C-alpha cells in the first residue's frame, strides 16, 4: 500500500470518534493529526472492566435464539474446515512439533487423520492452525465504511478451538461449550470492531492478535474465573497477542490462528492459578488498544457487548472458496463470464481484474508458485476458474498451482488499480472482470456486492452441509459425517462435549 493510500484510509478512520489518536505515527512515519473532538491525551479507559463484566454475566439462557442458531452454523463450517485443514503439510508439522515437545497430559483431542491428543493449550493450537490452514473459515463483517471488509477477524476458529479443548478437558456440557463459544466470539468481534483500523492496515493480522482475546474469554468462561482473574487473563493475552500480515501466503498465517487459541487458553489457565497481569490490559496509554492500534472507538464495545451479538448483526460470511475472501466476488464474476458465454480456456487472450487497493494489496501475489501463495493471488483464482470452472480444496494444491496450464493462464491475467472503484470505499468487495477473447470480442462483468455466503445471500442449510461433507470426506466416512453433523446441530443437548469430539474422529 502506498503512503497516499494509507493516509486516505486513516483519514476515513478518523471520521469515527477514536480515542487516543494524538501523537501516533503511521507505518510510513507520517504524523497523524488527532481527532479535534477528542482531548489531546484521551486514551481508552473502562474497556477491560466492560469485557470482564460481559464474560461474568453472559448466560446461555439469556442469549438470543438467533445467536445460538447462528453459532451452530458457524460450528458446522468451522469443524469442517478444521478437518479439511488438518490434512495439509503445515498442520502436520504443527502436530509433529506438539508430539516432539510432548509436554502436558493428553487432555484434549487433536482432530485430524490420526487419533491424537495433547494438553488443552496444545490441542487448541493444533486445531485452530488446521482451521485456518486452507483459508476456508468464516469472516467477520464490516458494519461501516471505515471498517474495511477483510480488516476484521476470522472469528470462529480461535474461539472454537479454545472452547473445545478446555471444554473437553473439563467434561462440560454441550450447552456450557456453546455459551463459552458465543462469549468468546462476541468479545473477539467487538474488540475488532472497536480498534482503530490502522491496527490491520499497519500490518497486524487481526485473527492472530484479537483472536487471542476471544479464546481467552471462552476459556475464562469455562474455567469460571473470578472478575480479577478474568482481568488478569485479558492482561496476559494482551502481551501474548501477535501476528503479522507479512506472513500471508505462508504456513505462518494459519499459525496465527493456532497461537491465538493456544495463547488464549494459556492466559486463562495461568490466571486460574493466580498468575497476575495488569488489571487494564485493553485500556490506557500502554494498553492493547493504544499500543497496537493507536486508539479505539469505545462506542463500538463498552455499551455494545451483546447489544446485539455480532454473530447476529452484522453477522458473518461463509466462504465458497478456500482462499482470501476478498477475491470471492471476483471469482464469481469470472465464473459467470465463462459459463454464460461458454468461454473455453484456449479462447482467452487476456484477463483484467479492476479493483481498489483494499483488494489488490492483500491479494498481493502476481503469480503463485504454491497453494499457499495461490490463496492470495488473483491471477491464480482467475486461472482456476478459467481452466476448471471451479476453485475448491482439490484445486488449491501445489501440484495444480505449479502445473504448466495454470502457470500459462496466470501469465495472461493482469490486475489493474481502478481509481473509480477505490473512490467508492472499502466496506464492500468491488471489482470488474474483463476478458479479451482471441476473436477480438471483449466481455465484462462487475462483481456482485451481494456475495455468496454473506447475509444477503447466505448459505442454506443444505449448502453448509455440502461444504462440511466435502471437507470432512478427506478424513471421515459417510456414516461418520452424518453422525458429526447430527452432534453439531444438537450440541446444546449433549451431556458432555466429549460426545462431540468422539463424533469428529474416525472410529
Could you read off the pLDDT tens digit of each residue along the chain, which spans 507 residues? Answer: 444 443 444 444 433 333 433 333 333 322 233 333 344 456 888 999 999 999 999 999 999 999 999 999 999 999 999 999 999 999 999 999 999 987 667 899 999 999 999 999 999 999 999 999 999 999 998 777 777 665 689 999 999 999 999 999 999 999 999 999 999 999 999 999 999 999 998 999 999 999 999 999 999 999 999 999 999 999 999 999 999 999 998 999 999 999 999 999 999 999 999 999 999 999 999 999 999 999 999 999 999 999 999 999 999 999 999 998 899 999 999 999 999 999 999 999 999 999 999 899 989 999 999 999 999 999 999 999 999 999 999 999 999 999 999 999 999 999 999 999 999 888 788 999 999 999 999 999 999 888 899 888 999 999 999 999 999 999 999 999 999 999 999 999 999 999 999 999 987
Q: What is the CATH number of the domain that holds 404?
A: 3.30.1330.120
Q: Is residue 500 part of a domain?
A: no
Q: Is residue 261 part of a domain?
A: yes
CA gap 397, 310 in Å, rounded: 34
Q: Are both 305 and 357 inside the same structural domain? A: no
**Domain endpoint, select from 427, 446, 465:** 446
Q: Is residue 305 part of a domain?
A: yes
CA gap 360, 354 in Å, rounded: 9
Model pLDDT, residue 451: 85
Phi/psi for 204 (5° steps) reads -80, 145
Three cell numbers, residue 507: 472410529
Q: Are both 105 and 49 inside the same structural domain? A: yes
Q: Are both 284 and 330 inside the same structural domain? A: no
Q: Is residue 21 part of a domain?
A: no
CA gap 400, 403 in Å, rounded: 5
CA gap 276, 280 in Å, rounded: 12
The residue segments making up the domain with residue 418 are 325-446
CA gap 127, 111 in Å, rounded: 6
Q: Are both 272 and 403 inside the same structural domain? A: no
3-state secondary structure of 334: helix
Q: Are both 196 and 246 inside the same structural domain? A: yes
Calculate the dihedral angle through the C-alpha atoms of 141, 401, 243, 210, rounding to the nearest 10 degrees: 20
Model pLDDT, residue 28: 31
Q: Are both 283 and 409 inside the same structural domain? A: no
CB-facing half-sphere around the CA of 408: CA atoms within 13 A: 8
Q: Are both 167 and 228 inside the same structural domain? A: yes
Q: Is 11 left (phi over 0), alpha (psi -120 to 50) or beta?
A: alpha
Three cell numbers, residue 301: 464495545
| Helix, strand, coil % over all residues of the chain, rounded to 5 | 50, 10, 40
Count of domains for the chain: 2
| Angle made by CA atoms 72, 315, 497, in degrees to the nearest 5 | 20
Model pLDDT, residue 22: 33
**Domain endpoint, select from 262, 284, 317:** 317
**Domain endpoint, select from 446, 461, 484:** 446
3-state secondary structure of 305: coil
Phi/psi for 433 (5° steps) reads -105, 130
* Contact present, 202 and 84 (Cβ < 8 Å): no
Q: Is 23 left (phi over 0), alpha (psi -120 to 50) or beta?
A: left
Q: Are both 273 and 348 inside the same structural domain? A: no
Q: What is the CATH number of the domain that holds 239?
A: 1.10.4100.10
CA gap 141, 469 in Å, rounded: 25
Q: Is residue 498 part of a domain?
A: no
* Contact present, 469 and 481 (Cβ < 8 Å): yes
Q: Are both 189 and 100 inside the same structural domain? A: yes
Three cell numbers, residue 337: 463470464
Model pLDDT, residue 148: 66
Collect all residues with Cβ–Cβ distance below 8 Å to 315 and sequence separation of at least 6.
70, 141, 454, 455
Q: Is residue 59 part of a domain?
A: yes
Q: Is residue 260 part of a domain?
A: yes
CA 26 to chain centre: 24
- DSSP bridge partners of 432: 354, 446
Model pLDDT, residue 6: 38
Total-model pTM: 0.87
* Contact present, 216 and 269 (Cβ < 8 Å): no
Model pLDDT, residue 188: 98
Q: Are both 266 and 339 inside the same structural domain? A: no
| Angle made by CA atoms 104, 109, 113, in degrees to the nearest 5 | 120
Grid cell 447476529 is found at 312
CA 30 to chain centre: 29
Q: Are both 313 and 333 inside the same structural domain? A: no
Q: Is residue 56 part of a domain?
A: yes
CA gap 361, 214 in Å, rounded: 27
Q: Are both 183 and 157 inside the same structural domain? A: yes
Model pLDDT, residue 429: 86
Amino acid at each position: 500500500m502506498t503512503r497516499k493510500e494509507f493516509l486516505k484510509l486513516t483519514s476515513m478512520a478518523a471520521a469515527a470518534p477514536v480515542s487516543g489518536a494524538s501523537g501516533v505515527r503511521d507505518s510510513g512515519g507520517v504524523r497523524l493529526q488527532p481527532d479535534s473532538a477528542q482531548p489531546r491525551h484521551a486514551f481508552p479507559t473502562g474497556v477491560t472492566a466492560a469485557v470482564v463484566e460481559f464474560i461474568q454475566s453472559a448466560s446461555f439462557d439469556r442469549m438470543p435464539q438467533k445467536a445460538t442458531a447462528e453459532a451452530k452454523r458457524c460450528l458446522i463450517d468451522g469443524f469442517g474446515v478444521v478437518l479439511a485443514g488438518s490434512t495439509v503439510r503445515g498442520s502436520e508439522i504443527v502436530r509433529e512439533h506438539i508430539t516432539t515437545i510432548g509436554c502436558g497430559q493428553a487432555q484434549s483431542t487433536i482432530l485430524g487423520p490420526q487419533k491424537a491428543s495433547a494438553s488443552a493449550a496444545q490441542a487448541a493450537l493444533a486445531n485452530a492452525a488446521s482451521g485456518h490452514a486452507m483459508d476456508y473459515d468464516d469472516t467477520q463483517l464490516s458494519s461501516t465504511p471505515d471498517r474495511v471488509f477483510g480488516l476484521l477477524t476470522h472469528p470462529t476458529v480461535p474461539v472454537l478451538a479454545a472452547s473445545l479443548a478446555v471444554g473437553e478437558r473439563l467434561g462440560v456440557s454441550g450447552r456450557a461449550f456453546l455459551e463459552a463459544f458465543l462469549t468468546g466470539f462476541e468479545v473477539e468481534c467487538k474488540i475488532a470492531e472497536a480498534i482503530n483500523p490502522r491496527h490491520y492496515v499497519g500490518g497486524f493480522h487481526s485473527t492472530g492478535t484479537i483472536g487471542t482475546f476471544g479464546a481467552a474469554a471462552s476459556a475464562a468462561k469455562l474455567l469460571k474465573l473470578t472478575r480479577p482473574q478474568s482481568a488478569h487473563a485479558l492482561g496476559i493475552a494482551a502481551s501474548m497477542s501477535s501476528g503479522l500480515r507479512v506472513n500471508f501466503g505462508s504456513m505462518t498465517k494459519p499459525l496465527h490462528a493456532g497461537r491465538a487459541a493456544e495463547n488464549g487458553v494459556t492466559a486463562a489457565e495461568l490466571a486460574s492459578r493466580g498468575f497476575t497481569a495488569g488489571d487494564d490490559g485493553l485500556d490506557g496509554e500502554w494498553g492493547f488498544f493504544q499500543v497496537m492500534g493507536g486508539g479505539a472507538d469505545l462506542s463500538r464495545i463498552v455499551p455494545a457487548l451483546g447489544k446485539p451479538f455480532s454473530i447476529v448483526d452484522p453477522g458473518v460470511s461463509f466462504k465458497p472458496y478456500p482462499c482470501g475472501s476478498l477475491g470471492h466476488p471476483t471469482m464469481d464474476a469470472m465464473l459467470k463470464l465463462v459459463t454464460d458465454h461458454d468461454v473455453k480456456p484456449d479462447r482467452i487472450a487476456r484477463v483484467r481484474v479492476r479493483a481498489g487497493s483494499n483488494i489488490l494489496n492483500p491479494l498481493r501475489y502476481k503469480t503463485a508458485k504454491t497453494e499457499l501463495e495461490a490463496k492470495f493471488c488473483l491471477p491464480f483464482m482467475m486461472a482456476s476458474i478459467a481452466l476448471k470452472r471451479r476453485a475448491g480444496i482439490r484445486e488449491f494444491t501445489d501440484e495444480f498451482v505449479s502445473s504448466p496450464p495454470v502457470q500459462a493462464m496466470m501469465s495472461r491475467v493482469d490486475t489493474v488499480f481502478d481509481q473509480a472503484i477505490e473512490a467508492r470505499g472499502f466496506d464492500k468487495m468491488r471489482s470488474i472482470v474483463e476478458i479479451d477473447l482471441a476473436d477480438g470480442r471483449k466481455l465484462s462483468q462487475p462483481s456482485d456486492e451481494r456475495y455468496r455466503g454473506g447475509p444477503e445471500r447466505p448459505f442454506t442449510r443444505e449448502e453448509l452441509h455440502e461444504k462440511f461433507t466435502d471437507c470432512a470426506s478427506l478424513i471421515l466416512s459417510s456414516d461418520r459425517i452424518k453422525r458429526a453433523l447430527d452432534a453439531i446441530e444438537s450440541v446444546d443437548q449433549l451431556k458432555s462435549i466429549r460426545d462431540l469430539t468422539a463424533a469428529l474422529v474416525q472410529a
